[in-house]
Amino acid sequence: MKYFKYSPLMLPALLVLFTGCSKDFLDLNPVATPTEVSFYQNSAAIDETVTAAYAELCAREVFDKDYFMVVGSIPSDDVDCGGQNLTDYPIAQHYDQFIGNLSDATVTEEIWRYCYKGLRSANTVLEEMPKVKKDYPDKITDAFIFLRTGEMEFLRAWYHFTLVQVFGGVPIADHVIQPSDFHNPRNTIKEVFTFIEHDLKDAMTRLPGTLAPSDIGRATKGAAQALLARMLMYESGYAENYPGDDRFKGCLVRYKEAYDNADTVINSGSYSLVGLGGGTFSSTWRYNMNPKDGYRWLFSVEGNNSPEGIFEIQNVEDKLGYGIFRGNVMTVYQSCRWYTNAKGVRSDAAGWSFNSPTQYLIDAFNSQDARETNLHSDPGHGTDDPRFATTIARPGDSLYIHNVLYPMDLFNLPTHMLGRKFECGWDEFWKDEGTSSGWGDSPYHVRLIRLGEIVLLAAEAAVKLGDQTNALKYINQIRTRARNCGNTGFPKDLTTVSFEDIVHERRLELTCEPHRFFDLVRWGLAYKYLNGASVDAGQFTIDFVKGKHEFWPIPLSEVQLSKGGLVQYPMWQ
């Protein structure tokens, strides 16, 4: 991905968009008409709203923490919530334990509201461009309209897809929605997927395959095609694994289409797996990084917009006080809270220690796969898979603090382990707190779509199609990249590949990214893997309810504002 520049001149408009709540969103229409008439007179005005449509992705704590961590990772069997202690962040603990109620929805309220705010901006662009062309034909070109239409169609697809992952069927926003639109029933999952597919297919005809440096961060043809491949895999999984479930009525098995789209992205020449062919890498963030470890480098600031990145949220640390809108909070949420200083004393590292890996995940890494024996001399402390060191920290592992590597102290975590894909030390980003936005100001980009995931989607689709040749080709690309990032000779290439191998490989490759819980749902495996699993080192046992916990309820505040239009799925009523 390339970097999309946010002009400081746009920030006053963005502040209005970012700070509105759900009621503000619904009440906006009465004051919007005269403002739009006077404002939208040229392509520059349109581009400010284009910026707003992208910028909703940067809203602090929504896509970086809420989506990535709280709903995409914590509810899975890979991690427990973690935090300062077992009672830290109660709402996230409830998502971890599946004990939330209709009023306990701060996280999903934020996802709902910011997705619909993004949709409002995207639809405003799409509706205003023809008016500008009609009234001010010399102020906007057909080429500009053509390109921006593709970008807004991609963003509409992204926001709708996120809503489906979290809530299931939702109201389709195909125009600048009014309060009365929420008085209608939610659309079905299939209806939303059909809308997404139409937008993405049209966007693919409009978007460029590559971007100029000044356009880094915008949507590309590859991003649209990758998202379509992902959506088709979700529809196929829903259709295959939930027959007779009205929530998924109309969904079809479409693995061949999914494979073709993923395969095209992989072979487009626009992207590559970092470290697949070896090489050396360095990072000022990852001070103790093996120079061969491209996978570890991928999750660093230097790895922003890497050759593997297909679509990334562009975060910056500009020390202008805009961290709430432009920075990334994942680093502070998932960095280590404590370390042992040179005097052997426990000291505050200033991270918050969320995402504590479970023993289930350790067992998965140590098993490698059903046919391969782990040859590590100490299987209780690590694994031969080089991805382990990037993904999981254990007591005594090092963190860079004040120009020195110090041992982490993980006494406060339920499993005494910490997810470390997105870690950093306090002095790496936040030491100049007086001139920066502090904890929410990390410049680490949020990787929404990366090639590694799309390669595994292609392998999965090939398995479903009975195509062992291509399934092996693609899953072994991922395993080869992992192997080339270390010196253990593991993981070895597979000689046959099953669906269980796909489940296993996605788990290791994508841990702590927003996939495991959503994967278990689309595969129909959430009950099998989650029900009865222990949380917080065995202090709580999950009661996963089929027909309920695959999706989270629509925020109660939105249901109330809809005046009966929005209705929860039956088991959430």
- Give the predicted TM-score (pTM) of the model: 0.91
Distances (CA, A) of 439 to 377, 433, 435: 39, 8, 12
**Counting beta carbons within 10 angstroms of the beta carbon of residue 521, is it exposed (0 to 12), middle (13 to 18) or buried (19 or more)?**
buried
pLDDT on residue 311: 98
> When comparing pLDDT for 61 and 247, which is higher?
247
Q: What is the spatial distance between Cα 418 and Cα 19, in angstroms, rounded to a whole number?
A: 32
Average pLDDT, the chain: 88
Q: What are phi and psi of 215, to 5 degrees?
A: -110, 10
Helix (H) or strand (E) holding 560: helix 556-561
Q: Mind giving me the DSSP string for 54-114?
A: HHGGGSTTIIIIIIIIIITTTTSSSEEEESSSTTSSHHHHHHHHT---TT--HHHHHHHHH
Going by the DSSP 8-state scheme, the letter that residue 121 receives in this structure is: H
pLDDT confidence of 468, banded at 50, 70, 90? very high
- 418 beta partners: 393
Burial 115-137 (b: 16+ CB within 10 A, else e): bbbbbbbbbbbbebbeebbeeee
Q: Are 154 and 535 in contact (CB under 8 A)?
A: no
pLDDT digits (tens, 9 = 90+) for 155-195: 999 999 999 999 999 999 999 988 888 888 999 999 999 99
Helix spans in 485-515 (H): 499-510
Q: Are 355 and 73 in contact (CB under 8 A)?
A: yes
Place of tokens 């284009």: 50
Place of tokens 């934020």: 110
CATH of domain 3-206+552-572: 1.25.40.390
Q: What is the spatial distance between Cα 399 and Cα 420, in angstroms, rounded to a whole number?
A: 10
pLDDT confidence of 26, banded at 50, 70, 90? very low
Q: What is the spatial distance between Cα 450 and Cα 305, in angstroms, rounded to a whole number?
A: 10
pLDDT on residue 230: 98
The token pair at 202 is 């049209």
| Closest to 331 (Cα-Cα) out of 14, 88, 68 | 68
pLDDT digits (tens, 9 = 90+) for 303-325: 999 999 999 999 876 666 555 66
Burial 358-378 (b: 16+ CB within 10 A, else e): bebbbebbbebbeeeebebee
Q: Could you tell me how far CA 122 lies from the centroid of its own chain?
A: 20
Distances (CA, A) of 367 to 123, 370, 382, 384: 48, 7, 11, 10
Highest mean pLDDT among 115-119, 331-335, 346-350: 115-119
pLDDT on residue 286: 74
Q: How many CA atoms are closer than 13 Å to the CA of 76, on its beta-carbon side?
A: 28
Give yes or no for residue 219 having a pLDDT over 90.
yes
Of 46-55, 153-162, 382-391, 418-427, which gets the smallest average pLDDT? 418-427
Going by the DSSP 8-state scheme, the letter that residue 495 receives in this structure is: S
Going from N- to C-terminal start, the domains of the chain cover: 3-206+552-572, 315-444
Q: What is the spatial distance between Cα 423 and Cα 441, in angstroms, rounded to a whole number?
A: 13
Average pLDDT for 370-389: 56
Q: Are 77 and 99 in contact (CB under 8 A)?
A: no
| Closest to 226 (Cα-Cα) out of 153, 168, 311 | 311
| Closest to 162 (Cα-Cα) out of 67, 41, 44 | 67
